[in-house]
Amino acid sequence: MERLIVDMDDVMADATGQFIDYYEREFGIRVDRESLNHQDEGHGFPDHQHIIKQFPHRPSFFRTMKRHENSYEVMRELNARYDLFIVSAAMEFPRSLSEKLEWLQEHFSFLTWKQIVFCGSKTVVHGDYMIDDMPYNLEKFNGEKFIFTAPHNLHHNHFTRLNNWNEVAVRFL
């Protein structure tokens, strides 16, 4: 069975939307998602960069992210057809370990604990395919690489792009 590696933040979970929501609660300003296009992750918000960088350190940041549209249905089918692993960098934000696990258990209850890998660097991961939003995670991957569209990666064009979960389904199912 072919191995498929799927990232969590900004692939399964809407991390960009979480930053937008936190920023609005903190400053009363709703930032348009499109205004973040072609900006590095966490950039593109008016001022307050030092506060925005603290959002992932706050309790419940990772636990309360929304699930990307159609991700549940497609992931369920992928789980039946592939040796599926969720691989998420979690060491930079230690609180995220338990929050990400709880989030996955709630939103993707069909996954087992054996399919979840939290790490500091994804260079140790091997498989046939990887879907990730961060180019640096894909660069050293040994299999076929797919970049999942997020505002911070729109200027990267050296990986096959998947814009949404419908496109993931077309490619892998």
CA dist., res. 162 & res. 50, Å (int): 31
Would you name the residues annotated as active-site residues? Answer: 7, 9
Beta bridge partners of 85: 5
Label each residue of the chain as H, E or C: CCEEEECCECCCECHHHHHHHHHHHHHCCCCCHHHHCCCCCCCCCCCCHHHHCCHHHCCCCCCCCCECCCHHHHHHHHHHHCEEEEEEECCCCCCHHHHHHHHHHHHCCCCCHHHEEEECCHHHCCCCEEEECCHHHHHCCCCEEEEECCHHHCCCCCCEEECCHHHHHHHHC
